[in-house]
Chains A and B, each alone.
Chain A
Amino acid sequence: DIQMTQSPSSLSASVGDRVTITCRASQSISSYLNWYQQKPGKAPKLLIYAASSLQSGVPSRFSGSGSGTDFTLTISNLQPEDFAIYYCQQSYSTPQVTFGPGTKVDIK
């Protein structure tokens, strides 16, 4: 099974900050890496697919990069509505995908 790790597990940031979240796979997954945002009491929402492609309707302050085993999600100019939990997901072994443990972004 492909294991996913994320760092940090949580972070505190201010509105306007640039935030970077890292995701690492236990083996190479090429670019089969997706990012989701989840707010309290809500379903996850797709932000980035294929490591760096922005899902339709998602603000351009969200960006993704990486390939192989190491990936990053960057939020530039953090907005109040961005405080949430972010999950990476590998789809290399689809349909048996695995998610990272999540990174909680909260207000400093």
Chain B
Amino acid sequence: QVQLVESGGGVVQPGGSLRLSCAASGFTFRNYGMHWVRQAPGKGLEWVAFIRYDGNNKYYADSVKGRFTISRDNSKNTVSLQMSSLRVEDTAMYYCARDRIRLGYHFDYWGQGTLVTVSS
């Protein structure tokens, strides 16, 4: 069965860095684009970043552009999010999600999330 397991969250000071990882299993990872989506405490969902199935195209939300970098390793079935220059407003649960293309685009599987807290 499809599984996405995030890791790497934690507490970091403003201006610091953190690297999140998402380990995928149960499907042919190299065939799917992958997203990161975040949710601040008590708030709604915010799309963060996307990487194409082959890693050749990457897209970012304006709120993280220039600070976050998405990458993937298709040999290890992982997608990562390198976060730098972290701000208090980056505090959120971070989810990885699989991109499916069927009559359009949608996120058909999500991980359980990893919590990032930016605080001094």
Contact = CB atoms under 8 A, between A and B. Distances in A.
Given A49-B103, A50-B103, A95-B50, A102 B108 contact: no
A15 interface: no
Given A49-B103, A91-B104, A99 B45 contact: yes
A34 interface: yes
B61 A96 contact: yes
Contacts of B47: 95-99
A44 interface: yes
Interface in B36-85: 37, 44-47, 50, 59, 61
B106 A34 contact: yes
A43 B113 contact: yes
Interface residues of B, number: 24
- Secondary structure at the A interface, as helix, strand, loop or mixed, is loop
A45 interface: yes
A69 B119 CA distance: 39
A87 interface: yes
A63 B99 CA distance: 22
Contacts of B100: 49
Given A43-B112, A45-B110, A55-B108, A95 B35 contact: yes
B42 to A, nearest CB: 11
13 contacts: A34-B106, A36-B45, A43-B113, A46-B108, A49-B100, A49-B106, A50-B103, A55-B108, A89-B107, A91-B106, A97-B47, A98-B47, A99-B46
Given A36-B107, A95-B50, A98-B47, 4 more contacts: A49-B106, A89-B106, A96-B59, A97-B105
